[in-house]
Chain A
Amino acid sequence: MNDMMKDPMILRSIIMDHYKYPKNHKLNDSNEYIEKHMASESCIDDIRVQALIKNAILEDICFDGEACTIATSSTSIMSDLLKGKTITDARQIISEYRKMIDQKEYDEELLEEAVAFQNVGNQANRIHCATIGWDAIESLMEESEKQNG
Protein backbone atom coordinates (compact mmCIF):
# COMPACT_ATOMS: atom_id res chain seq x y z
CA MET A 1 0.00 0.00 0.00
CA ASN A 2 1.27 3.46 -0.63
CA ASP A 3 2.55 5.38 2.36
CA MET A 4 -0.10 8.03 2.06
CA MET A 5 -2.49 5.59 3.59
CA LYS A 6 -0.44 5.62 6.78
CA ASP A 7 -0.45 9.39 7.15
CA PRO A 8 -2.79 10.34 10.02
CA MET A 9 -3.71 13.60 8.29
CA ILE A 10 -4.93 11.70 5.24
CA LEU A 11 -6.75 9.08 7.29
CA ARG A 12 -8.53 11.79 9.25
CA SER A 13 -9.57 13.62 6.16
CA ILE A 14 -11.00 10.41 4.71
CA ILE A 15 -13.12 9.97 7.84
CA MET A 16 -14.21 13.61 7.92
CA ASP A 17 -15.05 13.58 4.25
CA HIS A 18 -17.30 10.57 4.56
CA TYR A 19 -18.87 12.07 7.70
CA LYS A 20 -19.66 15.41 6.12
CA TYR A 21 -20.61 14.02 2.73
CA PRO A 22 -21.61 10.42 3.25
CA LYS A 23 -22.00 8.26 0.14
CA ASN A 24 -25.22 6.37 -0.61
CA HIS A 25 -26.89 8.28 2.20
CA LYS A 26 -30.51 7.92 1.16
CA LEU A 27 -32.95 5.11 1.69
CA ASN A 28 -34.83 3.52 -1.17
CA ASP A 29 -38.58 2.89 -1.27
CA SER A 30 -38.46 -0.04 -3.65
CA ASN A 31 -39.56 -3.31 -2.07
CA GLU A 32 -36.73 -5.09 -3.87
CA TYR A 33 -34.42 -3.75 -1.16
CA ILE A 34 -33.99 -5.52 2.12
CA GLU A 35 -33.35 -3.48 5.23
CA LYS A 36 -31.63 -3.83 8.59
CA HIS A 37 -32.23 -1.41 11.45
CA MET A 38 -29.24 -1.12 13.76
CA ALA A 39 -29.90 0.50 17.12
CA SER A 40 -28.69 -0.48 20.51
CA GLU A 41 -29.03 0.55 24.11
CA SER A 42 -25.32 0.86 24.65
CA CYS A 43 -24.88 3.32 21.85
CA ILE A 44 -26.76 6.25 20.38
CA ASP A 45 -26.05 5.31 16.79
CA ASP A 46 -29.30 4.49 15.09
CA ILE A 47 -29.00 3.63 11.41
CA ARG A 48 -30.85 1.73 8.70
CA VAL A 49 -28.89 -0.07 6.02
CA GLN A 50 -30.52 -1.29 2.81
CA ALA A 51 -29.23 -3.62 0.12
CA LEU A 52 -30.38 -4.69 -3.29
CA ILE A 53 -28.97 -8.17 -3.77
CA LYS A 54 -29.50 -10.03 -7.05
CA ASN A 55 -27.84 -13.27 -8.09
CA ALA A 56 -25.51 -13.07 -5.11
CA ILE A 57 -24.29 -9.62 -6.17
CA LEU A 58 -24.61 -6.50 -3.98
CA GLU A 59 -26.09 -4.29 -6.67
CA ASP A 60 -26.83 -1.40 -4.36
CA ILE A 61 -26.20 -0.46 -0.72
CA CYS A 62 -27.56 2.61 1.01
CA PHE A 63 -28.11 3.86 4.55
CA ASP A 64 -29.52 6.65 6.68
CA GLY A 65 -29.87 7.56 10.32
CA GLU A 66 -28.45 9.43 13.24
CA ALA A 67 -24.90 8.45 14.10
CA CYS A 68 -21.48 9.62 15.25
CA THR A 69 -18.56 10.41 12.99
CA ILE A 70 -17.08 6.95 13.16
CA ALA A 71 -20.36 5.10 12.52
CA THR A 72 -21.43 7.39 9.69
CA SER A 73 -18.11 7.42 7.89
CA SER A 74 -17.39 3.72 8.31
CA THR A 75 -20.82 2.84 6.95
CA SER A 76 -20.37 5.25 4.05
CA ILE A 77 -17.03 3.70 3.18
CA MET A 78 -18.47 0.21 3.51
CA SER A 79 -21.28 1.05 1.09
CA ASP A 80 -18.83 2.44 -1.44
CA LEU A 81 -16.45 -0.46 -1.13
CA LEU A 82 -18.91 -3.34 -1.27
CA LYS A 83 -21.29 -2.00 -3.90
CA GLY A 84 -21.10 -4.17 -7.02
CA LYS A 85 -19.19 -6.97 -5.30
CA THR A 86 -20.31 -10.58 -5.10
CA ILE A 87 -21.30 -11.89 -1.69
CA THR A 88 -18.18 -14.02 -1.67
CA ASP A 89 -15.86 -11.08 -2.35
CA ALA A 90 -17.73 -8.91 0.11
CA ARG A 91 -17.28 -11.51 2.83
CA GLN A 92 -13.55 -11.58 2.12
CA ILE A 93 -13.31 -7.79 2.49
CA ILE A 94 -15.40 -7.78 5.67
CA SER A 95 -13.21 -10.46 7.16
CA GLU A 96 -10.06 -8.40 6.44
CA TYR A 97 -11.76 -5.32 7.91
CA ARG A 98 -12.53 -7.17 11.11
CA LYS A 99 -8.95 -8.38 11.34
CA MET A 100 -7.78 -4.78 11.08
CA ILE A 101 -10.21 -3.61 13.77
CA ASP A 102 -8.98 -6.41 16.05
CA GLN A 103 -5.41 -5.17 15.44
CA LYS A 104 -4.38 -8.35 13.63
CA GLU A 105 -2.55 -8.79 10.32
CA TYR A 106 -4.76 -7.84 7.37
CA ASP A 107 -4.67 -7.27 3.66
CA GLU A 108 -4.57 -3.49 3.18
CA GLU A 109 -5.10 -3.68 -0.56
CA LEU A 110 -8.57 -5.08 -0.19
CA LEU A 111 -9.69 -2.40 2.24
CA GLU A 112 -8.88 0.78 0.29
CA GLU A 113 -10.24 3.82 2.22
CA ALA A 114 -11.47 1.60 5.05
CA VAL A 115 -7.90 1.52 6.39
CA ALA A 116 -8.75 4.91 7.87
CA PHE A 117 -10.19 2.99 10.83
CA GLN A 118 -7.01 1.11 11.61
CA ASN A 119 -6.63 2.93 14.94
CA VAL A 120 -10.17 2.75 16.16
CA GLY A 121 -9.09 0.08 18.64
CA ASN A 122 -7.33 2.90 20.54
CA GLN A 123 -10.78 3.77 21.86
CA ALA A 124 -12.13 0.34 22.67
CA ASN A 125 -15.58 1.69 23.56
CA ARG A 126 -15.95 2.93 19.98
CA ILE A 127 -15.15 -0.25 18.10
CA HIS A 128 -18.83 -1.00 17.67
CA CYS A 129 -19.28 2.36 15.92
CA ALA A 130 -16.75 1.30 13.30
CA THR A 131 -18.50 -2.01 12.69
CA ILE A 132 -22.20 -1.13 12.95
CA GLY A 133 -22.73 -0.75 9.17
CA TRP A 134 -20.56 -3.77 8.43
CA ASP A 135 -22.57 -5.92 10.83
CA ALA A 136 -25.72 -4.74 9.06
CA ILE A 137 -24.56 -5.69 5.57
CA GLU A 138 -23.39 -9.05 6.80
CA SER A 139 -26.78 -9.85 8.21
CA LEU A 140 -28.48 -8.61 5.02
CA MET A 141 -26.33 -10.96 2.93
CA GLU A 142 -27.33 -13.84 5.17
CA GLU A 143 -30.97 -12.88 4.88
CA SER A 144 -30.74 -12.76 1.11
CA GLU A 145 -29.11 -16.18 0.98
CA LYS A 146 -31.84 -17.64 3.16
CA GLN A 147 -34.54 -16.13 0.97
CA ASN A 148 -32.97 -17.68 -2.10
CA GLY A 149 -32.65 -21.05 -0.47
Chain B
Amino acid sequence: MLNVKKIRKDFPMLSNKSKKGHDLIYFDNAATTFKPQAVIDAVCEYYTSYSVNAHRGDYELSYQVDQQYESSRKTVANFIHADVKEIVFTSGASESLNLVAYGYGQKYLTEGDIVLSSEAEHASNILPWMKACEVTKATLDFIPLLDTGKIDVEAFKLKMNHHVKVVTLAQVTNVLGYVVDIQKICEIAHEYGAIVVVDGAQSLPHMPVDVKQLDCDFFAFSAHKLCGPTGVGVLYGKYELLQMSDPFMFGGGSNARFDMCGNILLKDAPYRFESGTPAIEAVLGMKAAINYIMNIGMEHIHAYELELREYLVAQMRQLENVVIYNDHNDSGIVTFNIKDVFSQDAATYFSDYGIAIRSGQHCAKLLMNKLNTSSTLRASVYFYNTKEEVDHFIKICSQINADTMLDVFF
Protein backbone atom coordinates (compact mmCIF):
# COMPACT_ATOMS: atom_id res chain seq x y z
CA MET B 1 0.00 0.00 0.00
CA LEU B 2 1.09 3.57 -0.61
CA ASN B 3 1.95 5.84 2.23
CA VAL B 4 0.16 8.78 0.66
CA LYS B 5 0.62 11.04 3.66
CA LYS B 6 4.35 10.66 3.37
CA ILE B 7 4.31 10.96 -0.40
CA ARG B 8 2.39 14.25 -0.21
CA LYS B 9 5.20 15.81 1.79
CA ASP B 10 7.45 15.36 -1.25
CA PHE B 11 5.29 17.71 -3.32
CA PRO B 12 5.64 21.42 -2.47
CA MET B 13 2.61 22.30 -4.62
CA LEU B 14 0.32 20.22 -2.43
CA SER B 15 0.73 22.56 0.51
CA ASN B 16 -0.40 25.58 -1.48
CA LYS B 17 -3.74 27.28 -0.95
CA SER B 18 -6.14 28.84 -3.41
CA LYS B 19 -6.64 32.61 -3.46
CA LYS B 20 -9.60 32.26 -1.12
CA GLY B 21 -7.54 30.16 1.27
CA HIS B 22 -8.91 26.73 0.35
CA ASP B 23 -6.57 23.75 0.23
CA LEU B 24 -5.63 23.14 -3.35
CA ILE B 25 -7.29 19.97 -4.65
CA TYR B 26 -5.65 19.10 -7.92
CA PHE B 27 -7.74 16.75 -10.06
CA ASP B 28 -6.32 17.71 -13.44
CA ASN B 29 -3.53 15.17 -13.53
CA ALA B 30 -4.33 14.07 -17.07
CA ALA B 31 -3.24 17.54 -18.16
CA THR B 32 -0.03 17.62 -16.16
CA THR B 33 1.24 16.53 -12.76
CA PHE B 34 2.95 18.13 -9.78
CA LYS B 35 6.67 17.62 -9.20
CA PRO B 36 8.29 16.05 -6.14
CA GLN B 37 11.21 17.87 -4.52
CA ALA B 38 13.63 15.31 -5.98
CA VAL B 39 12.73 16.45 -9.50
CA ILE B 40 12.93 20.13 -8.62
CA ASP B 41 16.33 19.48 -7.03
CA ALA B 42 17.62 17.61 -10.06
CA VAL B 43 16.72 20.54 -12.31
CA CYS B 44 18.29 23.09 -9.98
CA GLU B 45 21.35 20.94 -9.42
CA TYR B 46 22.14 20.98 -13.11
CA TYR B 47 22.18 24.78 -13.18
CA THR B 48 23.93 25.08 -9.83
CA SER B 49 26.67 22.52 -10.24
CA TYR B 50 27.05 21.59 -13.92
CA SER B 51 25.48 24.04 -16.34
CA VAL B 52 27.61 23.07 -19.36
CA ASN B 53 26.67 21.42 -22.62
CA ALA B 54 26.35 17.69 -23.13
CA HIS B 55 27.88 15.75 -26.02
CA ARG B 56 30.67 18.24 -26.56
CA GLY B 57 33.74 19.67 -24.88
CA ASP B 58 36.68 17.84 -23.49
CA TYR B 59 36.69 19.11 -19.98
CA GLU B 60 35.62 17.58 -16.71
CA LEU B 61 32.20 19.22 -16.31
CA SER B 62 31.19 18.49 -19.85
CA TYR B 63 32.10 14.87 -19.42
CA GLN B 64 30.04 14.67 -16.23
CA VAL B 65 26.98 16.20 -17.90
CA ASP B 66 27.37 13.80 -20.78
CA GLN B 67 27.47 10.86 -18.37
CA GLN B 68 24.35 12.04 -16.58
CA TYR B 69 22.52 12.79 -19.78
CA GLU B 70 23.21 9.32 -21.15
CA SER B 71 22.41 7.67 -17.85
CA SER B 72 18.96 9.26 -18.13
CA ARG B 73 18.54 7.34 -21.35
CA LYS B 74 19.35 4.15 -19.46
CA THR B 75 16.79 5.00 -16.80
CA VAL B 76 14.10 5.49 -19.44
CA ALA B 77 15.08 2.32 -21.28
CA ASN B 78 14.97 0.33 -18.09
CA PHE B 79 11.59 1.87 -17.17
CA ILE B 80 9.85 0.75 -20.36
CA HIS B 81 12.01 -2.33 -20.99
CA ALA B 82 13.71 -1.05 -24.14
CA ASP B 83 17.27 -0.81 -25.32
CA VAL B 84 19.12 2.49 -24.74
CA LYS B 85 19.64 3.09 -28.43
CA GLU B 86 15.90 2.94 -28.96
CA ILE B 87 15.26 5.94 -26.70
CA VAL B 88 15.01 9.32 -28.49
CA PHE B 89 14.69 12.42 -26.34
CA THR B 90 12.11 14.87 -27.67
CA SER B 91 10.25 17.89 -26.35
CA GLY B 92 7.26 15.72 -25.43
CA ALA B 93 4.62 13.31 -26.71
CA SER B 94 3.51 15.76 -29.39
CA GLU B 95 6.98 15.99 -30.90
CA SER B 96 7.45 12.22 -30.61
CA LEU B 97 4.22 11.52 -32.50
CA ASN B 98 5.05 14.14 -35.13
CA LEU B 99 8.47 12.63 -35.53
CA VAL B 100 6.96 9.28 -36.47
CA ALA B 101 4.40 10.83 -38.83
CA TYR B 102 6.99 13.00 -40.59
CA GLY B 103 10.09 10.86 -40.38
CA TYR B 104 8.49 7.49 -41.05
CA GLY B 105 4.96 8.16 -42.32
CA GLN B 106 5.78 10.77 -44.94
CA LYS B 107 8.78 8.76 -46.09
CA TYR B 108 7.09 5.40 -46.64
CA LEU B 109 3.34 5.94 -47.11
CA THR B 110 2.04 6.06 -50.67
CA GLU B 111 -1.29 6.42 -52.43
CA GLY B 112 -3.62 3.57 -51.56
CA ASP B 113 -2.10 2.99 -48.13
CA ILE B 114 -4.25 3.35 -45.06
CA VAL B 115 -3.42 4.85 -41.68
CA LEU B 116 -5.84 3.47 -39.09
CA SER B 117 -6.65 5.42 -35.95
CA SER B 118 -9.68 6.14 -33.76
CA GLU B 119 -12.05 9.01 -33.03
CA ALA B 120 -10.91 9.05 -29.42
CA GLU B 121 -7.38 10.27 -30.13
CA HIS B 122 -5.69 13.42 -28.88
CA ALA B 123 -5.08 16.05 -31.58
CA SER B 124 -1.34 15.37 -31.31
CA ASN B 125 -1.92 11.86 -32.59
CA ILE B 126 -4.35 12.77 -35.38
CA LEU B 127 -3.22 16.02 -36.96
CA PRO B 128 0.32 14.78 -37.85
CA TRP B 129 -1.27 11.80 -39.62
CA MET B 130 -3.78 13.98 -41.44
CA LYS B 131 -0.82 15.92 -42.76
CA ALA B 132 1.10 12.77 -43.65
CA CYS B 133 -1.93 11.48 -45.57
CA GLU B 134 -2.39 14.80 -47.35
CA VAL B 135 1.23 14.77 -48.49
CA THR B 136 1.42 11.08 -49.48
CA LYS B 137 -2.20 10.66 -50.69
CA ALA B 138 -2.65 7.83 -48.20
CA THR B 139 -6.04 7.54 -46.47
CA LEU B 140 -6.76 8.14 -42.80
CA ASP B 141 -9.44 5.80 -41.50
CA PHE B 142 -11.01 5.29 -38.08
CA ILE B 143 -11.92 2.26 -36.01
CA PRO B 144 -15.59 2.69 -35.07
CA LEU B 145 -16.04 3.12 -31.32
CA LEU B 146 -18.46 1.13 -29.21
CA ASP B 147 -21.43 3.07 -27.82
CA THR B 148 -19.50 3.61 -24.62
CA GLY B 149 -16.69 5.29 -26.58
CA LYS B 150 -14.42 2.27 -26.12
CA ILE B 151 -12.07 0.94 -28.78
CA ASP B 152 -12.84 -2.70 -29.31
CA VAL B 153 -10.40 -5.26 -30.68
CA GLU B 154 -13.14 -6.98 -32.72
CA ALA B 155 -14.07 -3.71 -34.41
CA PHE B 156 -10.39 -3.14 -35.09
CA LYS B 157 -10.04 -6.58 -36.68
CA LEU B 158 -12.85 -5.82 -39.12
CA LYS B 159 -10.96 -2.72 -40.26
CA MET B 160 -7.66 -4.48 -40.85
CA ASN B 161 -6.51 -5.35 -44.35
CA HIS B 162 -3.25 -5.38 -46.29
CA HIS B 163 -3.54 -1.71 -47.25
CA VAL B 164 -3.22 -0.65 -43.61
CA LYS B 165 0.41 0.34 -43.10
CA VAL B 166 0.21 2.25 -39.83
CA VAL B 167 -2.07 1.81 -36.81
CA THR B 168 -1.83 4.70 -34.38
CA LEU B 169 -3.67 4.61 -31.05
CA ALA B 170 -3.46 5.87 -27.50
CA GLN B 171 -2.99 3.15 -24.91
CA VAL B 172 -5.23 5.19 -22.62
CA THR B 173 -7.49 7.76 -24.28
CA ASN B 174 -7.45 11.23 -22.80
CA VAL B 175 -11.17 12.00 -22.83
CA LEU B 176 -12.69 8.81 -21.47
CA GLY B 177 -9.60 7.08 -20.11
CA TYR B 178 -10.29 3.64 -21.53
CA VAL B 179 -7.36 1.25 -21.67
CA VAL B 180 -6.79 -0.21 -25.13
CA ASP B 181 -5.44 -3.75 -25.48
CA ILE B 182 -2.30 -2.72 -27.34
CA GLN B 183 -0.68 -6.12 -27.17
CA LYS B 184 -3.58 -7.73 -29.03
CA ILE B 185 -3.70 -4.82 -31.51
CA CYS B 186 0.01 -5.25 -32.26
CA GLU B 187 -0.38 -8.96 -32.78
CA ILE B 188 -3.15 -8.50 -35.34
CA ALA B 189 -1.57 -5.48 -37.06
CA HIS B 190 1.71 -7.32 -37.48
CA GLU B 191 -0.05 -10.22 -39.19
CA TYR B 192 -0.97 -7.72 -41.88
CA GLY B 193 2.48 -6.15 -41.95
CA ALA B 194 1.37 -2.85 -40.40
CA ILE B 195 3.35 -1.02 -37.74
CA VAL B 196 1.74 0.19 -34.50
CA VAL B 197 2.38 3.62 -33.02
CA VAL B 198 1.32 3.96 -29.40
CA ASP B 199 0.52 7.28 -27.76
CA GLY B 200 1.50 6.48 -24.19
CA ALA B 201 1.02 9.99 -22.78
CA GLN B 202 -1.91 8.92 -20.56
CA SER B 203 -0.84 5.35 -19.84
CA LEU B 204 2.82 5.28 -18.88
CA PRO B 205 2.44 7.60 -15.85
CA HIS B 206 -0.19 5.31 -14.37
CA MET B 207 0.60 1.67 -15.10
CA PRO B 208 3.49 -0.70 -15.80
CA VAL B 209 4.47 -0.67 -19.48
CA ASP B 210 6.78 -3.10 -21.22
CA VAL B 211 7.26 -2.13 -24.86
CA LYS B 212 8.87 -5.47 -25.69
CA GLN B 213 5.92 -7.38 -24.33
CA LEU B 214 3.44 -5.11 -26.11
CA ASP B 215 5.62 -5.51 -29.21
CA CYS B 216 4.62 -2.01 -30.36
CA ASP B 217 6.80 -0.34 -32.99
CA PHE B 218 6.81 3.20 -31.60
CA PHE B 219 5.79 4.50 -28.18
CA ALA B 220 5.53 8.20 -27.27
CA PHE B 221 5.22 9.95 -23.91
CA SER B 222 5.81 13.22 -22.03
CA ALA B 223 7.74 13.60 -18.79
CA HIS B 224 5.44 16.26 -17.33
CA LYS B 225 2.56 13.83 -16.98
CA LEU B 226 4.69 11.55 -14.79
CA CYS B 227 5.97 14.10 -12.27
CA GLY B 228 8.79 15.29 -14.53
CA PRO B 229 9.57 18.67 -16.08
CA THR B 230 7.65 20.17 -19.00
CA GLY B 231 9.21 20.37 -22.44
CA VAL B 232 10.75 16.92 -22.48
CA GLY B 233 9.58 13.50 -23.55
CA VAL B 234 10.55 10.36 -25.34
CA LEU B 235 10.02 8.49 -28.54
CA TYR B 236 10.74 4.80 -28.25
CA GLY B 237 11.14 3.03 -31.57
CA LYS B 238 12.31 -0.43 -32.57
CA TYR B 239 15.89 0.18 -33.59
CA GLU B 240 15.58 -0.88 -37.22
CA LEU B 241 12.53 1.38 -37.64
CA LEU B 242 14.36 4.32 -36.10
CA GLN B 243 17.28 3.68 -38.46
CA MET B 244 14.87 3.76 -41.41
CA SER B 245 13.29 7.05 -40.29
CA ASP B 246 14.35 10.59 -41.13
CA PRO B 247 14.78 13.28 -38.53
CA PHE B 248 12.50 16.26 -39.15
CA MET B 249 15.08 18.62 -37.83
CA PHE B 250 18.69 18.76 -38.96
CA GLY B 251 21.64 20.41 -37.30
CA GLY B 252 24.44 20.05 -34.82
CA GLY B 253 24.52 16.79 -32.96
CA SER B 254 22.59 14.68 -35.48
CA ASN B 255 25.18 14.35 -38.23
CA ALA B 256 28.46 12.50 -38.25
CA ARG B 257 29.83 14.58 -41.12
CA PHE B 258 28.68 16.57 -44.12
CA ASP B 259 30.23 18.36 -47.05
CA MET B 260 29.40 21.38 -49.17
CA CYS B 261 27.96 19.23 -51.97
CA GLY B 262 25.05 18.41 -49.68
CA ASN B 263 26.10 14.94 -48.66
CA ILE B 264 25.00 14.33 -45.11
CA LEU B 265 25.96 11.30 -43.13
CA LEU B 266 23.58 11.04 -40.24
CA LYS B 267 24.56 9.51 -36.95
CA ASP B 268 22.85 6.31 -35.89
CA ALA B 269 19.67 6.39 -33.83
CA PRO B 270 18.91 7.89 -31.40
CA TYR B 271 21.36 10.74 -32.01
CA ARG B 272 20.24 11.43 -35.57
CA PHE B 273 16.97 12.76 -34.13
CA GLU B 274 18.53 15.01 -31.52
CA SER B 275 19.76 18.13 -33.26
CA GLY B 276 20.69 21.17 -31.26
CA THR B 277 21.29 21.67 -27.57
CA PRO B 278 18.51 19.82 -25.73
CA ALA B 279 16.68 20.71 -22.51
CA ILE B 280 19.44 19.08 -20.46
CA GLU B 281 18.00 20.02 -17.08
CA ALA B 282 14.63 18.63 -18.14
CA VAL B 283 16.15 15.33 -19.22
CA LEU B 284 17.90 15.07 -15.84
CA GLY B 285 14.63 16.01 -14.15
CA MET B 286 12.82 13.30 -16.10
CA LYS B 287 15.33 10.78 -14.83
CA ALA B 288 14.64 11.86 -11.27
CA ALA B 289 10.89 11.62 -11.88
CA ILE B 290 11.12 8.11 -13.28
CA ASN B 291 13.29 7.03 -10.38
CA TYR B 292 10.76 8.57 -8.02
CA ILE B 293 7.72 6.77 -9.40
CA MET B 294 9.60 3.50 -9.95
CA ASN B 295 10.59 3.64 -6.35
CA ILE B 296 6.93 3.80 -5.36
CA GLY B 297 6.19 1.06 -7.88
CA MET B 298 3.96 1.28 -10.95
CA GLU B 299 1.77 -1.62 -9.79
CA HIS B 300 1.14 0.16 -6.52
CA ILE B 301 0.41 3.45 -8.26
CA HIS B 302 -2.03 1.75 -10.62
CA ALA B 303 -3.81 -0.16 -7.87
CA TYR B 304 -4.14 2.92 -5.66
CA GLU B 305 -5.51 5.03 -8.50
CA LEU B 306 -8.15 2.46 -9.34
CA GLU B 307 -9.16 2.27 -5.71
CA LEU B 308 -9.42 6.05 -5.55
CA ARG B 309 -11.37 6.14 -8.78
CA GLU B 310 -13.85 3.56 -7.52
CA TYR B 311 -14.25 5.52 -4.28
CA LEU B 312 -14.93 8.68 -6.29
CA VAL B 313 -17.30 7.16 -8.84
CA ALA B 314 -19.29 5.23 -6.24
CA GLN B 315 -20.17 8.52 -4.56
CA MET B 316 -20.79 10.36 -7.81
CA ARG B 317 -23.32 7.72 -8.82
CA GLN B 318 -25.35 8.69 -5.77
CA LEU B 319 -25.54 12.35 -6.80
CA GLU B 320 -28.67 13.19 -8.73
CA ASN B 321 -27.17 16.24 -10.39
CA VAL B 322 -24.31 14.28 -12.01
CA VAL B 323 -24.09 12.38 -15.31
CA ILE B 324 -21.04 10.11 -15.66
CA TYR B 325 -19.86 9.20 -19.15
CA ASN B 326 -17.28 6.55 -18.29
CA ASP B 327 -18.74 4.80 -15.33
CA HIS B 328 -16.52 1.78 -15.74
CA ASN B 329 -12.92 2.03 -16.78
CA ASP B 330 -9.44 1.19 -15.57
CA SER B 331 -7.85 4.60 -15.25
CA GLY B 332 -8.04 7.61 -12.98
CA ILE B 333 -10.03 9.64 -15.52
CA VAL B 334 -13.67 10.39 -14.68
CA THR B 335 -15.66 12.23 -17.35
CA PHE B 336 -18.95 13.80 -16.32
CA ASN B 337 -21.28 16.77 -16.38
CA ILE B 338 -23.49 18.53 -13.89
CA LYS B 339 -27.06 18.41 -15.18
CA ASP B 340 -28.26 21.72 -16.67
CA VAL B 341 -24.89 23.40 -16.08
CA PHE B 342 -22.47 24.18 -18.90
CA SER B 343 -19.14 22.51 -18.17
CA GLN B 344 -17.14 25.71 -17.90
CA ASP B 345 -19.59 27.21 -15.41
CA ALA B 346 -19.25 24.10 -13.25
CA ALA B 347 -15.43 24.20 -13.49
CA THR B 348 -15.46 27.81 -12.26
CA TYR B 349 -17.61 26.76 -9.32
CA PHE B 350 -15.16 24.00 -8.41
CA SER B 351 -12.28 26.42 -8.84
CA ASP B 352 -13.83 28.83 -6.37
CA TYR B 353 -13.46 26.08 -3.75
CA GLY B 354 -9.85 25.35 -4.69
CA ILE B 355 -10.63 22.33 -6.87
CA ALA B 356 -8.87 22.16 -10.23
CA ILE B 357 -10.65 20.10 -12.89
CA ARG B 358 -10.79 20.47 -16.63
CA SER B 359 -13.75 21.53 -18.72
CA GLY B 360 -13.54 20.98 -22.38
CA GLN B 361 -14.90 20.29 -25.73
CA HIS B 362 -12.73 17.34 -26.51
CA CYS B 363 -13.03 15.54 -29.79
CA ALA B 364 -16.29 17.01 -31.04
CA LYS B 365 -17.23 14.06 -33.16
CA LEU B 366 -16.69 11.47 -30.49
CA LEU B 367 -18.63 13.42 -27.93
CA MET B 368 -21.49 14.42 -30.18
CA ASN B 369 -22.08 10.91 -31.48
CA LYS B 370 -21.40 8.81 -28.44
CA LEU B 371 -22.09 10.97 -25.45
CA ASN B 372 -24.74 13.37 -26.74
CA THR B 373 -23.03 16.39 -25.29
CA SER B 374 -20.73 18.99 -26.73
CA SER B 375 -18.54 19.46 -23.68
CA THR B 376 -17.67 17.67 -20.47
CA LEU B 377 -15.86 17.95 -17.17
CA ARG B 378 -12.88 15.72 -16.49
CA ALA B 379 -11.51 14.85 -13.06
CA SER B 380 -8.27 12.87 -13.16
CA VAL B 381 -6.51 11.60 -10.06
CA TYR B 382 -2.94 10.59 -9.35
CA PHE B 383 -1.21 8.69 -6.56
CA TYR B 384 -0.84 11.77 -4.35
CA ASN B 385 -4.60 12.44 -4.23
CA THR B 386 -6.55 11.23 -1.22
CA LYS B 387 -9.97 9.99 -0.19
CA GLU B 388 -10.36 13.14 1.92
CA GLU B 389 -9.91 15.21 -1.21
CA VAL B 390 -12.50 13.07 -2.95
CA ASP B 391 -14.93 13.64 -0.07
CA HIS B 392 -14.52 17.38 -0.39
CA PHE B 393 -14.88 17.20 -4.15
CA ILE B 394 -18.14 15.26 -3.75
CA LYS B 395 -19.48 17.82 -1.28
CA ILE B 396 -18.83 20.69 -3.69
CA CYS B 397 -20.10 18.64 -6.62
CA SER B 398 -23.41 18.05 -4.88
CA GLN B 399 -23.93 21.81 -4.42
CA ILE B 400 -23.74 22.74 -8.08
CA ASN B 401 -26.92 23.29 -10.06
CA ALA B 402 -28.49 25.84 -12.38
CA ASP B 403 -29.43 28.03 -9.41
CA THR B 404 -26.13 28.00 -7.56
CA MET B 405 -23.71 28.09 -10.47
CA LEU B 406 -23.56 31.88 -10.55
CA ASP B 407 -22.90 32.20 -6.80
CA VAL B 408 -19.18 32.44 -7.38
CA PHE B 409 -19.61 35.68 -9.32
CA PHE B 410 -21.37 37.49 -6.48
Contacts and interface: CB of A to CB of B under 8 A. Distances in A.
B352 interface: yes
B366 to A, nearest CB: 15
Interface residues of B, number: 18
B348 interface: yes
Given A12-B410, A69-B406, A120-B409, A43 B352 contact: no
A43 B360 CA distance: 8
Nearest to B402: A16
Nearest to A119: B409
Contacts of B375: 44, 66
Contacts of B352: 123
A107 B352 CA distance: 29
Contacts of B359: 44
B241 to A, nearest CB: 33
Interface core residue of B344, B359, B409 (most chain A CB under 10 Å): B409
Dominant secondary structure of chain A at its interface with chain B: helix
Interface core residue of A45, A67, A69, A129 (most chain B CB under 10 Å): A69
Contact of A123 (B342, B348, B374): B348
Contacts of A66: 361, 374-375
B408 interface: yes
A70 B345 contact: yes
Interface in B166-184: none
B134 to A, nearest CB: 22
A122 B342 CA distance: 19
28 contacts: A8-B410, A11-B410, A12-B406, A12-B409, A15-B406, A15-B409, A43-B344, A44-B343, A44-B344, A44-B359, A44-B360, A44-B375, A45-B344, A66-B361, A66-B375, A68-B343, A69-B342, A70-B345, A119-B410, A120-B409, A122-B408, A122-B409, A122-B410, A123-B348, A123-B408, A125-B348, A126-B348, A129-B344
The 7 closest A-B pairs by CB, nearest first: A8-B410, A68-B344, A44-B361, A68-B342, A69-B345, A12-B406, A119-B409
Interface of B: 342-345, 348, 351-352, 359-361, 374-375, 402, 405-406, 408-410
Given A12-B406, A43-B344, A70-B409, 6 more contacts: A12-B409, A66-B374, A68-B342, A68-B345, A69-B406, A126-B344
